[in-house]
Amino acid sequence: MSTPSPSGAPLASGLNLAQQEAVNYMHGPCLVLAGAGSGKTRVITHKIGRLIQAGLKPEQIAAITFTNKAAAEMRERAKSLIGKSARGVLICTFHALGVRMLRQDGGVLGLKPQFSILDSDDVTSILKDAGGSTDAATARQWQWAISAWKNNGLNAEQAEAQAANDEERTLARIMARYEERLTAYQSVDFDDLIGLPLKLLRDHAEVREKWQAALGHVLVDEYQDTNATQYEVLKLLVGERGRFTAVGDDDQSIYGWRGATLDNLKRLPVDYPALKVVKLEQNYRSTSAILRAANNVIGPNPKLYPKTLFSELGEGEPVRVLDCDGEEHEADRVVARIQSLRAGGELQAVGSQYKDWKDFSVLYRANHQARVFEKAFRRAQIPYKVSGGQSFFDRAEIKDLCGWLRLLTNNDDDPAFMRAVTTPKRGIGHTTLQALGTFASQYKLSLFESLFSNSLGTVLPAKAVGSLHEFGRFLNELEYRARHTVGAEDARVFLTDWLKDIDYERHLYDAEDSETVAAARWSNVMDFCDWMAQRCGGQIEDAAGTTLEKERKSMLEVIQTIALLSTISEREGEQDVVTLSTLHAAKGLEWPHVMLIGCVEGLLPFKLDEENELGSNAESIAQRLQEERRLMYVGITRAQRTLAVSWLKRRKKGRETIAGTPSRFIAEMGLDKTTVKEDPREKIRALRAEFAKRAADSAAAQALAEAKTGH
């Protein structure tokens, strides 16, 4: 008997037979091979409900995914299906689970519960210091190499032991100094949020037994994206009972460059001989024409578990292949196609409900391909967004300022303390901070509280204590000034004086090799300060220059809301705009109309010929080709109703223009009969749309003129 959902429908309603099989298998390890658009989130949420029906408490279930957005969607879907019970289920990313484990049990590794999580910019800065370099690009290369070592479970000592040459040995020593600094700062990086939980579970039996007892079933979404360390964490979480459900698709494994490995799929039946494998092959997203192209493209790849997607949505429009003279012509053709589809006409299968701007996307292999489309869309007055763009509040310079301001309102915010005390540098080194961190842990104080402890002089020399006292006094004075700064004008003075006092502008120019980049970052700082000042109220000007009177607030009151600022950028998803996105960023998304552009050799697949010239072995090149083919497959399966694929007869490569060769994947799609040189219907409908727009603009202008003259 099925447990009803809040709406009264049984939990199993709306599931096909394969989905029901996956949901109802609960007593051992289960691998669900979920093809693109096959309803994997539905399976996961229904299985959560089925596990609760079978007697597990919500708190005993963990559902782990890879992005906060996916976790939020899963949480909402579970809530609508099973109601209040969903609140108790642990639905989070791998990294959020790692944070939870380290906050609870990181003490056995020497971590305080308020440890700081460093972002990429923090890591680059610390590595520059640890490696004695001022070059940010070099530090980022070190960061990627160290990240790869950490993802493979290696610490600095192990990395040095297996180093293949002097360069790797030197980097392993830099990694050792980097790890020392993380310990000193009571901080972890993004990779540590997986590596340290693994260490917790592997080396501390009491912690491992606690978590295994707490979790009765673990569900993992996007399993094909897991790396070697994440697989080991999963194994130790579920123990020998192996009560887990891994949901993934080997055909959508496109993150090999960041450590994801298909070996994790191969290892499952070896490590868990009783593994139950369920294939989800019915696609609920795309037409048969689109799925046929997708199946044909992925066909040449070796299969761990063969499957073929099918759809009951009908044949649909044929997939179009557009040959273009160059990038500008390609952009013009995409604009014409969008205008044509919005105009309707002969494409009856498209349906009139798919004409909003948000129903269209343009997908590409590399970020630089977006530029020419941005220009073409602006000319045609087509609204758009570039997916994956950096949020204003994610910029390093804004994080720096927010760290300082957070510390004014909460002196116990150790991560903010670490950011403020080291940015800009003020003669307080990592040795001093290490001793301060140890002292704070010993006496269970925040770092700021420790500054003024009478016992601090017993662990630090007088000069270091003096520097710390000076920093503490400066913060106390800043907090007093912020409390008594009211209104926009005074706020601007406060912020300007503060930035001068810490010499932040010089810090930005010293940190960047390019003055242009430094100037852009300083401009962001000015924008942020202006925005903060306006929130303090009083007489301010709006965007049109009109003077407004707003409620006056103190600087400290405004700073106390700073944690809410980042939510501003999260509302952009509801905009009615065309999406420009890389294929990697598009994974997991879908649109009625997709245009997959730049499908030429050297872009998709990406530079395999150059790898050949550099002497990469045949096996490595074959694996890269397979991943590029999976990337093409992901792009094709984003489309619901129509798909157009374009290639360039000539394309830009650096400052040169070279001949373009159609991607081998176009031939693999099997679309010879539907290839079109130019679709006259698109041109005619685009022209009609343009003429209609001009006529409407002209009529509006005439009406406005008549209104002004009174005729």
Write out the E strands in 616-709: 639-648, 650-653, 656-659, 675-676
Assess whether 40 carries a catalytic annotation: yes
Helix%, strand%, coil% for the chain, nearest 5: 60, 15, 30
Measure the CA–CA gap between 285 and 641, rounded to whole angstroms: 8
Which residue in 41, 186, 229, 230 is the catalytic one? Answer: 41
- CA distance between the termini of the chain: 74
Has 41 been annotated as catalytic?
yes
The one catalytic residue in 222, 397, 627, 628 is 222
Q: Is 68 in contact with 391 (CB distance < 8 Å)?
A: no
Q: Note the residue count of the chain.
A: 711
Selecting among 40, 235, 406, 641, the annotated active-site residue is 40
Q: Beta strands of 183-337 (E only): which ranges? A: 187-188, 217-220, 244-248, 276-280, 282-283, 310-311, 320-324
Say if residues 593 and 639 touch (Cβ distance below 8 Å): yes
221 assigned to active site? yes
Q: What is the DSSP letter of 604?
A: S
E strand intervals along 624-685: 639-648, 650-653, 656-659, 675-676
Q: Which candidate in 50, 337, 624, 638 is catalytic?
A: 638
| Residues in CB range of 188: below 8 A, 6 or more apart | 102, 111, 115, 116, 117, 118, 182, 196
Amino acid at 65: T
Virtual CA dihedral for 470, 472, 477, 478, nearest 10 degrees? 110
Active site annotation includes 252: yes
Catalytic residue among 124, 224, 230, 252: 252
Q: What tokens were used for 184?
A: 């000193």
C-alpha 577/C-alpha 386 separation (Å) is 10
For residue 322 the two structure tokens come to 């557009």
CB–CB of 412/448 below 8 Å? yes
**Identified catalytic residue from 221, 249, 250, 601:** 221
Tell me the C-alpha to C-alpha distance, in Å, between residue 30 and each of 64, 425, 472. 15, 52, 55
Residues classed as catalytic: 40-41, 221-222, 252, 638
